[in-house]
Amino acid sequence: MEVAREQFATNTYRASSMREIAAELGIAKPSLYHHFSSKAAILEQLVAAPIDALGAAVDAAAAEPDSDEARRRLLRDCIAAMVTHQDVMRLLLRDASIYNDDSTRIVGTVVGTVDRAVAILAGPDADWRRRLRAAQAFAAATDPVGHFSDAPGEEFREALYQGAAALLDLD
């Protein structure tokens, strides 16, 4: 998975090939196909942990009553998932070649998770302005992860949280 992530990060997802990944691993391409049916299957396994973590954060928040505390926890948990898996999330946030027919299922899962998070952050019966703020807050909490690989972990998480929480008047 590390070799594939490095190949995707260096060459982009589209420009990377199963042949190159196999060669980097020192195995024959058919051996790689024995483990993964396609490059999209590698990508899916690569992003599974962060996507599962984001989904778990959204599920936990959805199970709580509508409250500012649930929104705070959702922001913090989403940020933690993004920062913990920063290298992989950078691929999803910065490599447009990932978004193709092969990755429709992965992208659909990500979009659905983000939509659910935004709805929870907005709250029930939110008007378009509140939904807009919620979308802005989620973006403020997650999008910078792809830009700041040198930021110190805990300080970075707190800065992301403070920016997002301010948009929702949570702190």
At 71-101, the pLDDT tens digits run 999 999 999 999 999 989 988 888 888 888 8
Q: What angle is formed at CA 69 by the lines to CA 66 and CA 72, rounded to 5 degrees?
A: 110
Instruction: Report how far residue 37's alpha carbon sits from residue 133's, in angstroms, rounded to the nearest whole number.
Output: 41
Q: Which residue has the tokens 């979009």?
A: 111
pLDDT confidence of residue 104: 86
- Amino acid (one-letter) located at 116: R
Q: Which residue has the tokens 């051996």?
A: 31
What's the burial of 164, exposed, middle or buried (CB within 10 Å: 0-12/13-18/19+)?
Answer: buried
Spell out, as residue ranges, where the chain has pLDDT lower than 50: none
pLDDT confidence of residue 31: 94
What does pTM read for this prediction? 0.88
pLDDT confidence of residue 92: 85
pLDDT confidence of residue 145: 92
Q: What angle is formed at CA 77 by the lines to CA 138 and CA 171, rounded to 5 degrees?
A: 65
pLDDT confidence of residue 160: 96
Note whether 119 and 61 are within 8 A (CB). Answer: no
Q: Which of 36, 17, 19, 37 is nearest to 28 (CA)?
A: 19
